[in-house]
Each structure stands twice: as structure tokens, then as C-alpha cells.
Amino acid sequence: MKKPFLGLRTTIYRVSDITEAKNWYSDVLGFEPYFDEPFYVGYNVAGYELGLQPDEKNEAKTDGVITYWGVENVEEKYNELLVAGATTFEAPTEVGGGIIVAAVKDPWDNVFGIIYNPHFSL
């Protein structure tokens, strides 16, 4: 019998300037990374890993995979991300059951999703 997946552990965004990206993500997350090396910067976001890896070419990104980070107020956080320099990818939308999602592109063209889900619990 196969063992089940244990759930999301890490999302990694590739960035052309890891120092600039670390500063940007530290600002939008509201705290500093727990791991900070030239080859990887890691944040513990409520028990989940958000990682930054350098990619000097900042090669093409896929828009087909989105990680949604939980927030209490999607509209407010969405506007904060835009003010911080992100661009619109998916405007805040209720998708049913009181669940609201939105997504932006960070300055390195990574899709950064946010979600309010009143039904989610760990």
C-alpha cells in the first residue's frame, strides 16, 4: 500500500537578483528569512517553506501552477502587494463558499497567489 502525501512543504521562486528578491519578500511577508545563503533564501511562512533560488537568466516562468498563501483579507493584501511593486495576475475573486483568491506577479515574473478560505484548517 502506498503511503499518502504529507502535504505542501516548499514553494520555490527563481529570481535574477536574490538580494533584491530577499529584500522584497522580507518586506511583503513582514519578516526576515530563517535561512540566508547566496544559493538559497528560505522563509518559514506559518510552517510552510517559501524559497528563493538565484537564476541569473530569469528564464520563462509557467503561469499554470499557482501556490496560494493564506491571508485574512485578500483585497487588503492584494493591494499591499501591488503597492510593493507586484503586478496584477488575477484580481480578487470569490470562487464560492466564501473562498476568495487573487494572484500577482512578483518583480521576477513569478505568480504569487493569496487565498482566504474559511473552511481550511490544519
Q: What is the CATH number of the domain that holds 80?
A: 3.10.180.10
113 close to 69: Cβ distance less than 8 angstroms: yes
Q: Look at residue 79 and tell me if it is in a domain.
A: yes
Q: How many domains does the chain have?
A: 1
C-alpha triplet 40, 14, 5: angle, nearest 5°: 80
Contact 61, 109 (CB under 8 A): yes
C-alpha cell at 18: 536574490
pLDDT score at 115: 96
Cβ pair 15, 54 in contact under 8 A: yes
This prediction has a pTM of 0.86
pLDDT along the chain (122 residues), means of 10: 83 94 97 97 95 84 84 97 98 96 96 95 80
Nearest to 70 by CA among 121, 115, 26, 9: 115
Domain that holds residue 95: 10-57+66-116
Residue 3 lies in a domain: no
Contact 13/111 with Cβ under 8 angstroms?
no
For residue 99, the model assigns a pLDDT of 95
Position 5 in a domain: no
